[in-house]
Structure 1
Amino acid sequence: MSQIPTPHIGAKLGEVAKTVLMPGDPLRAKFIAENFLEDVIQFNTTRNMFGYTGTYKGKRVSVMGSGMGIPSIGIYSYELFNFYEVDNIIRIGTAGSMNANVKVRDVVIALGASTNSNYAAQYNLPGTFAPIASYDLVSAAVEVAKEKNIRAVVGNVLSSDTFYSADETAMSKWMSMGILAVEMEAAALYMNAAKAGKNALCLLTISDSIVTGEALSAEDRQSTFTDMMEIALRIAK
């Protein structure tokens, strides 16, 4: 019995490319499809989590929203990896800087993803799993950033289950461990990729800084988003 379409993705097998770019916002997925891809088809509207497949400079690429948080990207990335034969998922999102050396407009290439989530408990491992990106994607992203003169910082990020935390000391503790930025999805993506034997990377545009209080305007966010998209589309394979 086929497991597709799933309860969350209405695509048929073959409608999703081997590489999927995943912004959190489904409307951002629509924007990417309309402005960066050619010959686009829409493969998903279920729950308004829009998904599209098209081509970028001759390469077949898909883009689909992931929703907010670890549970949401956990569902979508699992189904893409395990049911739709996707090999690579590149999360493209925004993040808040937690490091004085990571400035607004920077692109963070998330080598690892620490988390306060209990997502790894499902694997019943005899220890603590360290969610990390796929080296080939990290290496390729670094090279594109250098080629395009895009300021990119590589390191560990925090995938937080809480946007509004009752623990007012939590951020300073993570900052003391050298965490570069906070977001809400990468750790689940990396764990799903590891379990499925697939590839994953999280690219993040720094939109604001917990350290300085600085925040980008809507216009500046769009400009920096284009830098991140240049990296993501170039490394799609």
Structure 2
Amino acid sequence: MALKPSEFILNKDGSIYHLNLLPEQLASTIITVGDPDRVNHVTKHFDTIEHRVHKREFHTQTGTYKGKRMSVISTGIGTDNIDIVLNELDALVNIDFKTRKVKEKLTSLDIIRIGTSGSVQSDLPIDSFLVSETAVGFDSLLHFYKSENIQDKVFSEALKDHLEFSKDNGTPYVVNASSALLSHFNDSSYFKGTTVTNCGFYGPQGRVLRLPLSNPSLNDRMASFEYSGKRITNFEMETAGIYGLSQLLGHRALSLNAIIANRGTGEFSKNTTKTVEKLIANALDRIAGI
């Protein structure tokens, strides 16, 4: 059955609605970054660049690094944008743009996030790198999809009980990284952890400027949580959405985090640009070998 124009939306030039991309402009290995300006920080290392496309906050460049074709895409901040980006990336490879039908043979993408994050644990140092083995979504995105089969419900319930989560906050969802991609980052260069994806930067992450919090002890409770040897290590705003939608759509996903803040000690990196640049260079070499 052909997808309706209101569901599968194309621009006048035939490109996908938000990303403004044509299928041939996308590589099967994709690096996502939150900040549109960070796309250039990644692709300045490329040997060649064949496409530059942008619309709104979604900037894409496709080229090669050490002979491997890759696309770098900015998502903006938050899992609301991840819902757009992941669905449209999948459409670019798995929907026929002429017939508007899902292809019989599906393509699996490698999607690697390179981003910044704040540590929940005092012993996770500033300017270190962390790879997210597991992600916990506080944003509810995955609950809008049939996703029970990929969620760790026991982990979620244990966390909810420990945090004394209000029913008004919803139910966290727990999903895992691609084990195949994770194996390429399995050494002492990267801490491994469980990443909480928040629906905001201030109150949801326990920051107080002028507004009081409904659960002032939430961060302390997260820092003290442990389940099957896992603890909550860091906060950011996209990983759980990437992991969840990637698994549902049959793609492999991994999130790499530059730790630029430590919420336990109150520290913030003195040179975030240098830390992110080091993570980009390290990640590119590893991704080129996948």
Q: Superposition RMSD on alpha carbons, in Å?
A: 2.0
CA contact (8 A) 1:108 1:154 kept: yes
1-side partners of 2:236 and 2:178: how far apart? 18
Q: Within 5 Å, which residues of 2 pair with 1:141-220?
A: 141-143=185-187, 146=188, 150=189, 152-165=190-203, 166=213, 167-177=215-225, 178-217=231-270, 220=271
User: Greater CA deviation, 74-83 or 20-29?
Assistant: 74-83
Unmatched runs of 5 consecutive residues or more in structure 1? none
Deviation at 1:227, TM superposition (A): 2.7
Q: Take 1:172 and 1:98, find their aligned partners in 2: how far apart are those partners?
A: 8
Alpha-carbon distance, 1:86 to partner: 5.9
1:76 equivalenced with 2:93 (yes/no): no
How far is 1:110 from its partner?
0.3
Post-superposition Cα deviations, 1:130-174, rounded to whole Å, max 9, x if no partner, equal 21110111110124xx4xxx3x21010110012121332221222
CA shift for structure 1 position 112: 0.6
| Structure 1 runs of 4+ with >6 Å offset | none
- The answer (yes or no) to whether the contact 1:98–1:175 under 8 Å persists in 2 is yes
Q: Is the 8 A contact 1:95 1:182 kept in 2?
A: yes
- The answer as to 2:125 corresponding to 1:103 is yes
Unaligned runs of 5+ in 2: 94-106, 154-172, 204-212, 226-230
The CA distance in 1 between the partners of 2:91 and 2:122, in whole Å, is 39
Larger radius of gyration: 2
Shift of 1:124: 4.3
Identity %: 26
Q: For residues 64-143 of structure 1, what are the structure 2 equivalents within 5 Å? A: 64-84=73-93, 87-125=109-147, 128=153, 129-143=173-187
The residue matched to 1:14 in structure 2 has which SS?
Answer: helix
Q: What's the TM-score once normalised by structure 1's chain length?
A: 0.88
Tell me the TM-score normalized by structure 2. 0.73
Q: Is structure 2 residue 275 aligned with structure 1 residue 224?
A: yes
The whole-number CA distance in structure 2 between the counterparts of 1:106 and 1:154 is: 11
| TM-aligned CA deviation for residue 212 of structure 1 | 0.9
Partner of 1:36: 45
Closer/same/farther in 2, CA of residues 121 and 60 from structure 1, 3 Å limit: same
SS in 2 for 1:42: strand
1:202 to 1:116, Cα distance in 2 relative to 1, 3 A:
same
Displacement of 1:121: 1.3
